[in-house]
Amino acid sequence: MNLQNIGVIGAGTMGNGIAQICALAGFNVTLLDISESALQKALATVGKNLDRQVAKASLTEEQKLAALDKIRTSTDYCTLHNVQLVIEAATENLELKRRVLQQIAAQVSADCIIASNTSSLSITELAASVSSPARFIGLHFFNPVPVMGLIEVIRGLQTSDATHALALELAQRLGKTAITAGNRPGFVVNRILVPMVNEAILVFQEGLASADDIDAGMRLGCNQPIGPLALADLIGLDTLLAIMEAFYDGFNDSKYRPAPLLKEMVAAGYLGRKTGRGFHTYG
């Protein structure tokens, strides 16, 4: 497939980051969301990110303008009719993703590749939401998308070799490193990372150490670039809870039980950076 046109569903943090790197790689991007205000906010974010790269001399003004010109926005799924690949980056909710995927499948051609940026949900189960599930695959990008060098490529039971090969080609064209993972909750990276963050929350909940000391301990003692509680705030505590609950349900194993404090903080609306308060506070 001569891949040129990509659709991205969801203009939030992940969606606008995916749109940005696709446009920089020369793809024509249709960024779709239900809200015009969300789309305008996404374009502003992409513009600021590109301005930052120009200021660092890693991008020219001409390259920035060319990338912005590659992105068009829409609130109508009908605008996806000519795309060859769609990446769904909606909120990590199974029923929501199913509805979005069904709307995508109703508008795109029969040979259009459909991918989900899910970080924990079953690719096999999501693939069952679309016609011709052999064309469905998981493409798990990491936050912040323009900075992080990895894409997890996840094969569902139905995913064809051709779909997998195209996903690997896309990762290469985007300048990312791809690793292929099987369809298990959390795949590879989150399967290891998120329970570690949950354990840090349990340590904090027990009063063993302050949030600052827990983060400093893991940064300085394990050479991690960011402490686990600061990372939880960056990911979003609601997203973290959704992933842990998916693990708990998927593996039926008590070692994946979400920390009670995590559930309580989400109930209180303390979701991390996006609300200004999590395990740390933000201005």
Is 148 marked as binding a ligand?
no
Verify whether residue 5 is a known catalytic residue. no
CA distances from 170 to 4, 21, 65 (A): 10, 11, 22
Q: Is 119 a catalytic residue?
A: yes
75 known member of a binding site: no
129 is in an annotated binding site: no
Residue 232 labeled ligand binder: no
269 assigned ligand-binding residue: no
250 is in an annotated binding site: no
- Whether 125 is catalytic is no
Report the amino acid identity of residue 64. K
Is 56 annotated as ligand-binding? Answer: no
Closest CA to 22 of 137, 175, 153: 175
- Report the distance separating Cα 269 and Cα 278, nearest Å: 9
Q: Please tell me which residue in 49, 117, 119, 120 is annotated as part of the active site.
A: 119
Task: Please write down the long-range contacts of 89-93, taking CB distance under 8 Å and 24 or more positions apart.
Answer: 89/8, 89/9, 89/10, 89/12, 89/14, 89/15, 89/18, 89/117, 89/141, 90/9, 90/10, 91/10, 91/12, 92/118, 92/119, 92/120, 92/121, 92/239, 92/242, 92/243, 93/242
Q: Identify the three-state secondary structure at position 137.
A: strand
Q: How far apart (Å, rounded) are the C-alpha atoms in residues 135 and 116?
A: 11
User: Is 14 annotated in some ligand binding site?
Assistant: yes
Determine if residue 138 is labeled as part of a ligand binding site: no
Q: Is 81 a catalytic residue?
A: no
Residue 277 phi, psi (nearest 5): -150, 130
Catalytically annotated residue among 140, 183, 198, 245: 140
119 is in an annotated binding site: yes
State the catalytic residue, choosing from 152, 183, 198, 245.
152
Catalytic hit among 122, 190, 198, 245: 190
Is 149 annotated among the ligand-binding residues? no
* Positions marked active-site: 119, 140, 152, 190
Q: Which residues participate in the annotated binding site?
A: 10-15, 33, 92, 97, 119, 143, 274
Q: Which residues participate in the annotated binding site for NAD(+)?
A: 10-15, 33, 92, 97, 119, 143, 274
